[in-house]
Amino acid sequence: MSNETNVSNTEKQAKHLEDLSKRYRPALSRYFGKRAFQQADVEDLVQEVLVRLAVRGDGSDIEKPEAYLMRTATNVWRDFLRKKRTHAQDFHDEFIEDQHSSAENGPDSVLTGEESVGAIISALNDLPPRTRQIFVLCRIEGLRHKRIAHRLGLSVSAIEKHMIKAIAHLSGQLKK
């Protein structure tokens, strides 16, 4: 007997939920459609209201069902906005495979990159201090030869000679 009663209640609840959906889905879709940015959110919000109504029971004790429905929809909308704000959903990016690391950015390439940087630093440290300073000011800091010459009290020609020396040294060291 209890098995038949459970099946009967389940069928009754399913029918009730279907009736609620047919009756109120268009109004709820319009309500959320005016507020939500994405159609998928509208459908989720409508579904949430219908679930809350179904959990409430058959609704026979509700005096003004439309007012109750709109109050429930408003509460669902507020909950949605609160969750969106606290979870910072607008600041999350979609995972796109092409924009994330692959085998090219794996441990081997990171190690190779670190070794290359180490070799460059070592080669820079082998330069005489004045030549290294001029190279760093020109290539790292982005200063022009004339500005470096003025800053260091040298001629532009001297700056160019130091740069030629630094580039030749770095090229020779990094080819090894």
Separation of alpha carbons 63 and 55, rounded Å? 17
H-type alpha helices, 57-155: 65-86, 107-126, 129-135, 145-152
pLDDT of res. 173 = 86
> Are 66 and 121 in the same domain?
no
Separation of alpha carbons 36 and 39, rounded Å? 7
> Are 81 and 13 in the same domain?
yes
> Are 125 and 54 in the same domain?
no
3 is a domain residue: no
pLDDT of res. 87 = 73
64 is a domain residue: yes
Cβ 93 vs Cβ 100: under 8 Å: no
CATH number for position 129: 1.10.10.10
> Are 133 and 68 in the same domain?
no
What are 105-119's pLDDT values in tens digits? 677 777 888 888 888
pLDDT of res. 175 = 82
CATH number for position 46: 1.10.1740
Model confidence at 145, pLDDT cuts 50, 70, 90, reads very high
Place of tokens 């909308």: 77
> What's the domain count of the chain?
2
Model confidence at 2, pLDDT cuts 50, 70, 90, reads low
pTM of the complete model? 0.44
110 is a domain residue: no
What are 35-86's pLDDT values in tens digits? 887 888 888 998 888 888 877 776 667 788 788 888 999 999 999 988 887 8
**Mean local confidence (pLDDT), 129-146:** 92
Tokens of 33: 């459609």
> Are 73 and 130 in the same domain?
no
> Are 75 and 122 in the same domain?
no
> Are 65 and 125 in the same domain?
no
1 is a domain residue: no
Q: Is the pLDDT of residue 3 over 80?
A: no
Q: Is the pLDDT of residue 96 over 60?
A: yes
124 is a domain residue: yes
154 is a domain residue: yes
**Residue 26: which domain range?**
8-87
**Mean local confidence (pLDDT), 2-11:** 64
93 is a domain residue: no
> Are 37 and 81 in the same domain?
yes
pLDDT of res. 88 = 67
pLDDT of res. 7 = 59
137 is a domain residue: yes
Q: Is the pLDDT of residue 1 over 60?
A: no
> Are 67 and 122 in the same domain?
no
Q: Which residues contact 130 (CB under 8 A, 6 or more apart)?
A: 152, 162
What are 13-35's pLDDT values in tens digits? 677 777 777 888 898 889 888 88
